[in-house]
Amino acid sequence: MSYSRNRPRNSTFSAVVWAYALRRYGRRCYVCSAVGVPLERDHIIPVTEGGSNEADNCAPICPDCHKLKSERERIRAYRKRQAKAKRPAEPHPSEGLTSS
């Protein structure tokens, strides 16, 4: 399943922010500290949950860790939607008013 269709526009990092993240984490995966593997760009706090494209929300992550993290995020979003759907509807403002 592609995650990109739910991604807000402009949810990528600039080259400057990415270079800063690579230096900050020593070109290692920020989850498992793997070195010498291809690194992907990751929003530490997903944009869909209010994360930004700022340098403090950017981190390099290896493909294996990214896959696991993305799956956890999808499950969390699914559970959040399910909980919201099960909430009882709020009463209409006119309910509970007594006529005199």
CA distances from 28 to 15, 33, 39, 42, 86 (A): 17, 5, 8, 13, 42
Q: Is residue 15 in some structural domain? A: no
Give pTM, 2 decimals: 0.69
Q: Is residue 19 in some structural domain? A: no
In this predicted structure, what is the pLDDT of residue 67? 96
Q: Please tell me what DSSP assigns to residue 83.
A: H
Q: Is residue 97 in some structural domain? A: no
Q: Is residue 83 in some structural domain? A: no
Q: Is residue 7 in some structural domain? A: no
Beta bridge partners of 58: 43
More confident call, 61 vs 10: 61
| pLDDT tens-digit readout, 64-93 | 999 999 999 999 988 888 887 776 667 767
Residues spanned by the domain of 68: 28-74
Q: Is residue 95 in some structural domain? A: no
Query: Is 21 within 8 Å of 13 (Cβ atoms)?
Result: yes
Q: Is residue 46 in some structural domain? A: yes
Beta bridge partners of 60: 41
Q: Is residue 39 in some structural domain? A: yes
Domain count, the chain: 1
